[in-house]
Amino acid sequence: MSLFCFHNRSFVLTKGAFIFWLLAGIFFNESQAASLEELLPQLAERTFPAKQAALDSLATSNDERVPAILTALAQGELYLRSVNPIIVIGQPSTPGNLRLIDPLTQRDLGEVGASSSKKITLNNKMRTTLRLALAVWHLNDANPTIRLAAAREMLGENNPTVLQALQNQLARESVVAVRNILVIALALPQLTADDAVNRLKAISVLANNLYPEARNALVPLAESDPDPSVKSAAVKALSSIDRQLTWSNRLETLFFGLSLGSVLVLAAIGLAITFGVMGVINMAHGELIMIGAYTTYLVQTALPSWLDYSILLAIPAAFIVSALFGILIERTVIRFLYGRPLETLLATFGISLILQQLVRTFISAQNVVVQNPGWMSGAWPINPALALTYSRLYILIFALAVFVALLLVLRRTNLGLAVRAVSQNRAMARAMGVRSARVDVLTFGLGSGVAGVAGVALSQLTNVGPNMGQAYIIDSFMVVVFGGVGNLWGTLVAGLSLGVANKIMEPWAGAVLAKILVLVFIILFIQKRPRGLFPPRGRAAEG
Amino acid sequence: MLKAMRGDRGGQALLVLLIITLIVVPVLNLGLPTTHPWHVSTYAVTLLGKYLCYALLAMAVDLIWGYLGLLSLGHGAFFALGGYAMGLYLMRQIGDRGVYGNPVLPDFMVFLNWDRLPWFWQGFDWFAVALFMALFVPAMLAYGFGYLAFRSRVTGVYLSIITQALTYALMLAFFRNEMGFGGNNGLTDFKDLLGFSLQSDVTRIGLFIASGLALIGGYLSCRIIVTSRLGRVTVAIRDAESRVRFIGYRVERVKTAIFTFSALLAGLAGALYVPQVGIINPGEFSPINSIEIVIWVAVGGRTTLYGAVIGALLVNYGKSLFTAVFPDAWLFALGGLFVLVTLLLPRGLAGLGRSREIN
């Protein structure tokens, strides 16, 4: 019984697991060692059939030490030591060297040159056996994610041992997702059953799931099953699966489009404030995004052990750093150029070059690596054909949150009131006592800070390097102009719809051509509606 | 023509200097032995020729920015298109001397397993066709673009941004191998032009003189335009567009005409540039190149055509100097130039010497 409990442990090769096997080796040596110690050397037999026989016996053994050995074998880390020949696990340590471990006792056998040991070779049949054996072990794992992956691995297997293992696991499985896939794995072989009733039953189980294995297995039945009722059921099941697959693909395209759109919105929304509200063309906006991304990098580097949370800290940090840079730019350059948009454009372009070169000189000309925190990696499986990556999902939500926050700032705060007043009629606002110079600084700081926050989000999706800002500046301007200058809602709608349009066109046009088509579309659109999707109305339109 | 130059002191000085250079430099290059201290190396001649092409390009930008008030951030596109037209001709002249020795297809097409020449490459075996296309294609693009943009009254910053988007879209397009213009690598490995080897000193001098003559011709034609009645309407549009429209002028036609002519000059500059540098690739379309042209004009001083020429020569000379001595500092210098010129020298270097006669 105690053995059974140990079966439920994870066999991932970690330090802890090694200690565990070490203990297991001490406690169970007497009862188990004999068979394993006889079997293991047989893996080094000369012929593949002999090795296969040894592997088959190993796979059915319930010795605790077997999974580690099989894992090493699958990863090509099992060796025959030349001197005093025993089978060892060899892990690459320094280049050209191996650290040898005795798989039976877990003893460290020291470091040797890679050439002094011979790798245990495999053929395809052995690989299949190995894969299944490991999957059967993992099927019983304590971690449901590993159980799920193992069950997924066994879809379409027709091996009686495997099916027995699946049956056993189904009997004791409590997690619904794993149960579902076990049912499917058990139904799949039934599609080729002799009895038409069994086939029909299997079809009804498989009818509404989207695993490619299930669809592939249904195809021959739909084409040429001797029993007409089975055939028609298979045809129906197939068409229902295909319909769902089409929808999954559409949803996936929509998700990728919205994700790209959220990036565009994030990049453009700071610009919508400085360009739209203040009429200032800030060509250094992309570089403010870059500064935000580099701030993320610096925060992560400063707090290496807080990887999961440092990104949350990076959001306010990037806002402040980019806002300060923005304020500096406003105070030293832009305030002398109000009312001369073309000159502002040139001066801020100069600033963007300086900022890029600053990063190259003081940090690195190469891209830097920004880590994804653990909770942002991985994907949310909606169904077998559709999984939403968490990083993209969070960034989409984050973009919407930033949008709402900005909308609230502009609509509900005193600063927002002053900003709107100055943007509508500067002279009148001043006459009413609004300190327009101060409002300019704060607005520019706000827009720049939002660019920095966008940089935090972008650092999770793309490369962080000195040139990253340039990649976004044209797209951001396009979004703002397309949406209608001075209109945050316009920016949101324009960004999301351009993102979706891009992703819809990508499958048949290719990524680059899709981008070109979007650009050409906007160029033509501006000819038709020079003031964007949502042009300003009333008095603001006169400006 | 003389009338056009009357009163344009800076321009007169520039033309005299240009003509002297065009005579003296070839003599010093070809007439003196390489060991002579006064000898001008062929490298320097080629560099000068390149600068002259840039100067012509800057003048094209000045014509529309200084006199029409349109800040084009996409003039590099017209320059590059002219360059590509000439590049096609030069590629056809390679014949079977390419790496793969294919008599019909350029190397990159052999590499991509294309079996015949695309239709748009036809006719570029003739120099006259290539030269015509180098002017016609940029002019047509400018005409179509300008017709649409000016008819719907896209002005100011919006125009700047969509011209930038235009050159950006073209850059992405030319990066694609499927476009049939050599993709990423562009067109290069040129051998000869009109039967003359591109490596020989005589051809280099010939190209240098051709660039100089093109600049002089371009200058004179721009002067003729700005001193004509059309030029006065142009300046009026820059200063008070609505008023000109209300008086009854067809503003969009004037704008389209000047914009198209400017693109044509840029295309000519590109066509002269490519044989001298020996390569044309999609990088020429990159938005930063177009913005750099604008800074040449801003440094020299807009609304003075000779100022654009001075600016182009000075900034590019500075760039060559800087990138050789402090390669890292060039972007600092260029960025600083952008900021300082717009803040402190809104009328450029040419504005320093002038009294407040204009504006």
Spatial separation of the C-alpha atoms in residues B184 and A447, rounded to whole Å: 36
Backbone angles phi, psi at A380, to 5 degrees: -100, 105
**Structure confidence at residue B11 (pLDDT):** 84
CB A371 within 8 A of CB A308: no
pLDDT tens digits, residue range A375-384?
877 778 777 7
pLDDT at residue A370, as a whole number: 85
Exposure of A403 in the CB half-sphere (CA atoms within 13 A): 24
Q: What is residue B68's three-state secondary structure?
A: helix
Q: Is the ipTM of this complex over 0.90?
A: no
Residue of B294, B342, B343 to mutate, testing the A interface (most A Cβ within 10 Å of its Cβ): B342
Cβ of B335 within 8 Å of Cβ of A353? The answer is: yes
Mean pLDDT of B104-131: 84
DSSP state of A46: S
The answer on pLDDT for B349 being more than 90 is no
Average pLDDT value for residue range B282-293 = 90
Q: What is the mean pLDDT of chain B?
A: 87
Contact B331 A357 (CB under 8 A): yes
Contact list, B331 vs chain A (CB under 8 Å): 353-354, 356-357, 360
How many C-beta atoms surround the C-beta of residue A495 within 10 A? 31
pLDDT number for residue A538: 53
Over residues A141-145, the mean pLDDT reads 77
What pLDDT does residue B235 have? 93
Structure tokens given for A81: 């030591």
Question: CA of B72, closest CA in chain A: separation in Å?
Answer: 10
What residues of B are in contact with residue A470 (Cβ under 8 Å)? 288
Let me know if B117 is exposed, middle or buried by CB neighbors in 10 A (0-12, 13-18, 19+): middle
Predicted pLDDT at B107: 81
For residue B84, count CB atoms less than 10 angstroms from its CB and return exposed for 0-12, middle for 13-18, buried for 19 or more: buried
Of residues A125 and A447, which shows the higher confidence score? A447
Residue A99 structure tokens: 């650290």
Residue with tokens 């402040």: A320
* Cα–Cα distance, B188 to B107 (Å, whole number): 10
**In this complex, do B338 and A527 lie within 8 Å of one another by their Cβ atoms?**
no
Those residues with Cβ within 8 angstroms of residue B250's Cβ, 6 or more apart along the chain or in another chain: none
Report helix, strand or coil for B102.
coil
Where residue A425 falls among pLDDT bands split at 50, 70, 90? confident
Side-chain-side CA neighbours of B264 within 13 Å: the count stands at 17
Amino acid in position A478: M
**Three-state SS letters, A122-177:** CCHHHHHHHHHHHHHHHCCCCCHHHHHHHHHHCCCCCCHHHHHHHHHHHHHCCCHH
Type of residue numbered A188 = L
Asked if A146 is an interface residue toward chain B (Cβ–Cβ < 8 A), one would say: no
**What's the confidence (pLDDT) of residue A175?**
78
The yes-or-no verdict on residue A27 having pLDDT over 60 is no
The SS3 assignment for A483 reads helix
Mean per-residue pLDDT over chain A, rounded: 80
Q: Which two tokens stand for residue A84?
A: 């005093």
**Looking at per-residue confidence, does A28 or B62 come out higher?**
B62
The more confident residue out of A216 and A264 is: A264
Lowest-confidence segment of A217-221, B143-147, B269-273 by average pLDDT = A217-221
The whole-number pLDDT of residue B99 equals 78
Single-letter amino acid, residue A96? G
Task: Examine the pLDDT at A199 and tell me if it is beyond 90.
Answer: no
Nearest to B205 by CA among B56, B42, B54: B42
Cα–Cα dist B138/A305, whole Å: 57
**A134: pLDDT strictly greater than 70:** yes
Helix B156-175 to helix A341-362 angle, to the nearest 10 degrees?
50
Statement: residue A475 has pLDDT above 80: yes
Are A418 and A434 spatial neighbours (Cβ–Cβ below 8 Å)?
Answer: yes
B338 and A350: CB-CB below 8 Å? Answer: yes
**Minimum distance, in Å, between the CA of residue A393 and any CA atom of chain B:** 29
pTM for the whole structure = 0.76
- DSSP-derived secondary structure letter, A279: -
DSSP assignments along B311-333, one per residue: HHHHHHHHHHHHHHH-GGGHHHH
From residue A348, alpha-carbon distances to A56, A282, B44, B72 in Å are: 70, 6, 34, 16
Q: Is A315's pLDDT higher than 60?
A: yes
Contact B334 A350 (CB under 8 A): yes
Helix B287-300 to helix B156-175 angle (10° resolution) is: 140
Instruction: Please determine, for residue B212, whether its predicted confidence score (pLDDT) is greater than 90.
Output: yes
Could you give the percent of chain B with pLDDT greater than 90?
Answer: 39
Owner of token pair 């704060």: A442
pLDDT at A500 over 80: yes
Vertex B9 angle, CA B6 and B12, to 5°: 80
**Residue burial A350-370, b: 16+ Cβ < 10 Å; e: rest:** bbbbbbbbbbbeeeeeeebeb
The answer to whether the CB of A221 falls within 8 A of the CB of A234 is: yes
Say how far residue B184 (Cα) sits from the centre of its chain.
21
| pLDDT mean over A19-29 | 43
Q: Is the pLDDT of residue A7 over 50?
A: no
The band of B94, judged by pLDDT with boundaries at 50, 70 and 90, is: confident
Amino acid A22: pLDDT? 42
CB contact under 8 A, B149 and A349: no
pLDDT (tens digit, 9 = 90+) per residue, B157-184? 788 888 988 899 899 889 888 888 888 8
Burial of A522: CB neighbours in 10 Å, binned 0-12, 13-18, 19+: buried
Chain B contact for A208 (CB, 8 A cutoff): no
The DSSP symbol for B186 reads -
Beta bridge partners of A108: A101
Burial of A49 (0-12, 13-18, 19+ CB in 10 A): exposed
Rounded to an integer, what distance in angstroms lies between the CA atom of residue B6 and that of residue B226?
A: 12
Q: Do A474 and B287 touch (CB under 8 A)?
A: yes
| pLDDT, tens only, B294-345 | 989 988 888 888 889 999 999 999 888 888 888 778 888 888 888 888 888 8
What Å distances lie between residue A148 and A130, A144, A154, A155, A434, CA to CA? Answer: 18, 6, 10, 11, 62
Residues written for chain B? 359
Confidence band, pLDDT 50/70/90 cuts, at residue A537 = low
Looking at the complex, does the CB of residue B337 fall below 8 Å from at least one CB of chain A? yes
DSSP H helices in A369-510: 390-412, 414-424, 426-431, 436-459, 468-483, 488-509
Q: Model confidence at A13, in pLDDT bands (50, 70, 90)?
A: very low
Nearest CA in chain A to B163: A523
Could you give the CA distance from residue A407 to residue A218 in angstroms, rounded to a whole number? Answer: 52
Pairwise CA distance, residues B87 & B96, whole Å: 16
Yes or no, beta carbons of A527 and B154 under 8 Å apart: yes
Residues 6+ apart with CB under 8 A from A394: A376
Who's near A237: CB < 8 A, 6+ residues apart?
Answer: A203, A204, A206, A207, A208, A218, A222
pLDDT, mean of residues B49-69? 93
Mean per-residue pLDDT for A295-324?
Answer: 90
Q: Which two tokens stand for residue A319?
A: 């806002």
B298 contacts B348 by C-beta, under 8 angstroms? yes
Query: Which position has the token pair 């995004």?
Result: A289
CB atoms B151 and A527 under 8 Å: yes
Longest Cα–Cα distance in chain A: 96
CA of A475: how far to CAs of A269, A448, A479, A508, B143, in Å?
12, 17, 6, 22, 25
State the Cα–Cα distance between residues A281 and B263, nearest whole angstrom.
25
**What are the beta bridge partners of residue A368?**
A464
Determine the straight-line distance between the first and last CA of chain B, rounded to whole angstroms. 25
Of residues B60 and B35, more confidently modeled: B60
A394 residue type, one letter: Y
pLDDT surpasses 90 at B260: yes
More confident residue, A173 or B224: B224
Determine how many CB atoms are found less than 10 A away from the CB of residue B197.
13
Q: Where are the beta strands (DSSP E) in chain B?
A: 187-188, 192-193, 196-197, 279-280
pLDDT surpasses 50 at A17 = no
pLDDT for residue A4 is more than 60: no
**Average pLDDT of span A41-64:** 78
Number of A:B CB contacts under 8 A? 114
The whole-number average pLDDT for the span B192-218 is 88
How far is the C-alpha of B68 from the C-alpha of A105, rounded, in Å? 86
Asked if B29 has any chain A CB less than 8 Å from its own CB, the reply is: no
pLDDT value of position A209: 74
Q: Using an 8 Å Cβ cutoff, are B64 and B265 in contact?
A: no
Q: What is the DSSP letter of B74?
A: -
For the stretch A230-274, pLDDT in tens is: 777 778 888 888 888 888 888 888 998 999 899 899 889 888 888
Q: Is the pLDDT of residue B354 over 70?
A: no
Q: Is the CB of A525 inside 8 Å of chain B's CB atoms?
A: no
Q: Are strands B192-193 and A379-383 parallel, antiparallel or unpaired?
A: unpaired
Does residue A343 sit at the B interface (CB-CB below 8 Å)?
yes
A347 and B338: CB-CB below 8 Å?
A: yes
Q: pLDDT (tens digit, 9 = 90+) per residue, A449-458?
A: 999 999 999 8
Question: Does residue B233 have a pLDDT over 90?
Answer: yes
Return the structure tokens found at A506.
């990508």
Q: For residue A454, what pLDDT is reported?
A: 92
